[in-house]
Amino acid sequence: MYEKLSSFAQTGGLILFIIAFVLVLIYALAPGNKKKFDEAKRIPLEDEEDGDVR
């Protein structure tokens, strides 16, 4: 019984991980998100408004 449950959990976990990975890839590579990601990658290079540099 334990072996069957363990095998099912491992297989199910692997399938869920693969599905989640593919969904994240689709989200990250979708052309509609390009502008949002381009803006986000420039955030560290922007000057702060109050002049407080740490």
pLDDT digits (tens, 9 = 90+) for 12-49: 999 999 999 999 999 999 999 999 999 999 999 988 77
Q: Using only C-alpha atoms, what is the Rg of the chain?
A: 21
Residue whose tokens read 């991980």: 17
pLDDT at residue number 47: 82
Alpha-carbon span 6 to 2, nearest angstrom? 6
